[in-house]
Structure 1
Amino acid sequence: MQEEHPEEIPKPFLGLQRDDQFFLGTLLIAILVLAVIYIGQLSRWGTEPIEIKRQNHLPYDYQIDINKATWVEFAQLKGIGPVLGKRIVAYRDEHGPFQSIDDLLMVKNIGPVKLNENRIYFKPIPISPE
């Protein structure tokens, strides 16, 4: 008597045929490889930092003529905003041109400290011959 061995039929995994299982396995391996490459790029693996040398900041080098400057130009200075800049221009319009930089002390809310902080930004007023 011959024993009959029926051919074993492999059970489908997740309900997929053998070719589908092969395709799905290949696809998952490809996704895994791409994910590892992407994570490697995010971690900057294999790169060296670059040192960037920058120049020092230069101080502002400008001066304004207090008899011609607009309130916007005054507002750029230390401790002088738009309100005080407009007040300086209004004072100049009402009382005439300033004779010296120290005449700015006559404007309300400008004291010696604020004037001395900004003195380097004012052009000297030329002395007019009389």
Structure 2
Amino acid sequence: MIFVAFSRGFRRATHSCSPWCDSLSIMGASRPRGDMGTRRQKPEERIVMRWFLRRGDQLVIASILVMTVLSGAAYFGMQKMRSIDYIDIDQAPSVEYRFLVDVNQADWSELAQLPGVGETLARRIVDSREMQGPFLDHSDLQRVKGIGPRTVESLRGYLLPMPKAEAIASDASAVPAS
């Protein structure tokens, strides 16, 4: 099938020698002279389209592609020119957090977070503190069943220093005088 360009669009050519001839005509090869017949063709029928678009359509598409490429290049160029270096924010150095517990005031849930102390042992510490009074020294923790000298040594880094015995015995010295 051969398509011929006219001023108002495409139209199928009136002759057809073979499908092979049609495909050659589309690719730009000349048609065999014997199949033309004796009728003389009009000048606009002699033009066989080698492209699927007219010359004007090709120019429009080419100009759109060029404008797209140029606008993309301009956009990325402007972004590169506008790029600002990152702002360096001074950050404070990290501080190591230490979990410290006061054995005489901590609840069982706080004591259970210590390494080597579970819920059961934490409840025993609180019960011992309530029944026998506050701990005067870290070594007093050994009075709780399940805590020995090794456990006390492993917990020393997590326990707040014990206050003086006078501060624990009397509430008057712990409260500031007004």
One-letter identity of the residue aligned with 2:120: R
One-letter identity of the residue aligned with 1:115: L
- Which residue number corresponds to residue 3 of structure 1? none
In the TM superposition, residue 115 of structure 1 has moved relative to its aligned partner by: 2.0
**Distance in structure 2 (CA, Å) of the matches to 1:94 and 1:117:** 23
Query: Which structure would you say has the larger Rg?
Result: 2
1:61/1:95 CA distance change after superposition, 3 Å: closer
Higher relative contact order (CA 8 A, sep 6+): 1
Alignment partner of 1:68 out of 97, 105, 113: 105
| RMSD after superposition | 4.2
Structure 1 stretches lacking a partner, 5+ long:
1-5
1:58/1:44 CA distance change after superposition, 3 Å: farther
Structure 2 stretches lacking a partner, 5+ long:
1-42, 171-178
TM-score, normalised relative to structure 1: 0.53
- Which residue number corresponds to residue 19 of structure 2? none
Identity of aligned residues (%): 23
1:99 and 2:132 equivalent?
A: no
Aligned counterparts, 1:1-130, within 5 A: 11=49, 13=51, 15-33=52-70, 35-36=72-73, 37=75, 46-60=83-97, 64-74=101-111, 80=115, 84-97=117-130, 98-102=134-138, 103-105=140-142, 106=144, 107-108=146-147, 110-112=151-153, 114-119=154-159, 122=160, 124-125=162-163, 126-129=167-170
1:21/1:64 CA distance change after superposition, 3 Å: same
Contact 1:104 1:115 in 2 (8 A): no
> Between Structure 1 and Structure 2, how many residues are aligned?
115
Q: SS of the residue aligned with 1:55? A: coil
Q: Report which of the two has the higher share of strand.
A: 2
**Distance in structure 1 (CA, Å) of the matches to 2:157 and 2:86:** 42
Contact 2:108 2:122 in 1 (8 A): yes
One-letter identity of the residue aligned with 2:69: L
TM-score, normalised relative to structure 2: 0.43
In the TM superposition, residue 128 of structure 1 has moved relative to its aligned partner by: 0.9
